[in-house]
Structure 1
Amino acid sequence: MEPTLHFGSDQVLLLNCILAIMIFGVSVTLKPADFSRVVRAPKAPLAGLFAQFVLLPALTCAFTWVLDIEPTLALGMMLVAACPGGTFSNIMTFLARGNTAVSVSMTAVSSVGSAVLTPFNFALYANLNPNTQPLLQSIAMNPVHLAGLFFGVLIIPLVLGMMCGQRWPAWARRTEPGFRVFSVVTLVGFVVVAVGQNLNTLMSYLGVLVAVVIGHNTLALLMGYLSARFAQLNEADTRAITLEVGIQNSGLALAILFTFFPNQTSMMAVAAFWGIWHLISGGLLSWLWNRKPVGEVSRVE
């Protein structure tokens, strides 16, 4: 029987506020040029966005189907795969000596596009997989409420963050690191407390969970890398795209789960462990790449 995590409306609201603060904090350094750069120099960002929103969700569906992964774990993987790039991908790219401008542009565009593409990809591939289709159809998900969640925790904070950053640029540069630290510490703390309520039950399939998430994250990193190589991009762009695709916005996945799937502990465990593991894998990859300079690459201004 699927273990149950119990969340009150106050806890869900708190998580949504944390995610909104995280998006706001990251967005204060975004500029309109980060969006227009995709039009001016589209090759690298579009290759990355194709891997992010087309290849990764499709291959995740195939991965879970072929390996016959337990439906709730598979749904968690599909939801994470459908989410946009994570907020720490830009920092990881900078540390990896990658093209930070490409990473920032991808984050900006994918965050806005996820309002449509995340629910579309999740519903599409969860229905295509015959193992997850019955479970998805048994869960009621109000599309109006879902749209409200995206605008409340993603789009509105992003727009407000950009506006504040444009109005007070010195303040934005000074406070943005603090926003990142506050957001990740608070989010990890919330996940630890929530999962800790059913730790004994979760331990019963911890080995499978760890294997599934590590394998899935490796697939994401590989998809980013191979997409960049197929597009014949330079090393700096390749590093940026690899990290952007491999670091997903698991916080958004958790917000969706706590709001619409409060009884699906396995799905939450996938998103929660993803949020921890992708920082480890991305950090290790950034450290390795940092030791291999690629020459002068773009940085966020």
Structure 2
Amino acid sequence: MLPVDEIRLNFNPASLVILNVVLGFLMFGIALDTRGADFRRVLRMPWAMGVGIAAQFLVLPAVTFGLTLLLQASPSIALGMILVACCPPGNVSNILTHRARGNVALSVSMTAISNALSIVLMPLNFAFWAGLHPTAAPLFRSIALDPAEMAGHIVAIIGIPFVLGIVCAEKLPRLTARIRKPARFLSFFCLIAFILGAVAGNWRYFLDYVGLVLLAVVLHDALAFLTGYLCARASGLQDYDRRAVSIEVGIRNAGLGLVLIFSFFGGLGGMAVVAGVWGFWDIIAGLALASWWGRKPAEGAPDTTETGA
């Protein structure tokens, strides 16, 4: 069995183009649930928003970097973990926050702001932490990744569809109301289908190497949720907000990571296996956490039992 750093997973170029389109459609669906009010809402809860954004873009990559050193992860696995940590959240975080009885308004706003910021911050963040890693940096430099080129790719599959979705939501509210839910579920279904396709097409590699990454992914995912929760708690946010921040930081868009891995890293083994396993485990862990939280009311939640006259 070849070392995980030496394998390259195969993905048909035509399928990769379709996956880019699907991911762009997914971002369009996220934007259909976004309004200008979501960005203006930041002004009414700047502290909670600031804590959540900092936890995602500053604390989580640093925690991930430390975890890769602690686990002595192989270079390609370390790069995969860092890339996933730098990805923005997906709109499934809003669904899970609602299930967890957390602050959905904060969750939606964080998703919108985080995806907008990730266009610039994601490639810079990844390049910084990957270049700093003692064992993964040589592999990262050998790939000769251009952060500007990655940023351009992210603009194409995140930025443009996101802006178009917001414009559609603001200017065509009736059309948006009809297509929002079908678009969200269809795009999510297609993304899961393509992740399954990537796994099925490289099933032998996943079977050979999943044991190497499963513990890392489980620990990493748990730390991501915990990072959001502890940052929110340390900053004095109430439980209602802590649940939203924890889920926003814990849920990463591994589908985007998989697209970038096949587009810029040639399907590098450890990276692709990490992103593929994360894409499934993250949803399972998030659903379990949200269901557990949903059993009891959140401290600081608005009282919905009162009825108006």
By the TM > 0.5 criterion, same fold?
yes
Q: What do you get for the CA RMSD once the two structures are aligned? A: 1.6
| Whole-angstrom distance in 2 between the partners of 1:145 and 1:49 | 24
Structure 2 counterpart of 1:296, from 292, 298, 302: 302
**Aligned residue type for 1:267:** M
Q: Which runs of 4+ in 1 moved over 3 A?
A: none
Structure 1 counterpart of 2:270, from 251, 266, 269: 266
| Whole-angstrom distance in 2 between the partners of 1:213 and 1:71 | 15
Corresponding residue SS for 2:194: helix
Number of the residue aligned with 2:65: 61
Uncovered stretches (5+) of structure 1, i.e. residues with no partner: none
| Residues 1:148 and 2:152 are matched in the alignment | yes
Deviation, 1:174, is 3.3
Deviation, 1:83, is 1.0
**Aligned residue type for 2:290:** S
Number of the residue aligned with 1:103: 107
Which TM-score applies when normalising by structure 2? 0.92
- Asked if the contact 2:89–2:251 (Cα under 8 Å) also holds between the matched residues in 1, the reply is yes
| Whole-angstrom distance in 2 between the partners of 1:118 and 1:127 | 14
| Whole-angstrom distance in 2 between the partners of 1:99 and 1:80 | 24
Structure 1 counterpart of 2:228, from 224, 230, 234: 224
181-190 or 212-221: bigger deviation = 181-190
| Residues 1:41 and 2:45 are matched in the alignment | yes
Number of the residue aligned with 1:119: 123
Uncovered stretches (5+) of structure 2, i.e. residues with no partner: 305-309
**Aligned residue type for 2:188:** V
| Whole-angstrom distance in 2 between the partners of 1:160 and 1:194 | 28
Identical columns (%): 42
| Whole-angstrom distance in 1 between the partners of 2:240 and 2:73 | 35
Counterparts in 2 of 1:229-244, with a 5 A limit? 229-244=233-248
Counterparts in 2 of 1:102-251, with a 5 A limit? 102-251=106-255
Q: 1:285 to 1:297 in 2, by over 3 A?
A: farther
Which TM-score applies when normalising by structure 1? 0.94
Q: 1:226 to 1:297 in 2, by over 3 A?
A: farther
Deviation, 1:205, is 2.3
| Whole-angstrom distance in 2 between the partners of 1:7 and 1:285 | 33
Number of matched pairs = 298
Deviation, 1:297, is 7.1
| Whole-angstrom distance in 2 between the partners of 1:117 and 1:145 | 13
Deviations 1:196-217 (A, max 9, x none): 2221232122222211111100
**Aligned residue type for 2:189:** V
| Whole-angstrom distance in 2 between the partners of 1:102 and 1:54 | 19
Number of the residue aligned with 2:27: 23
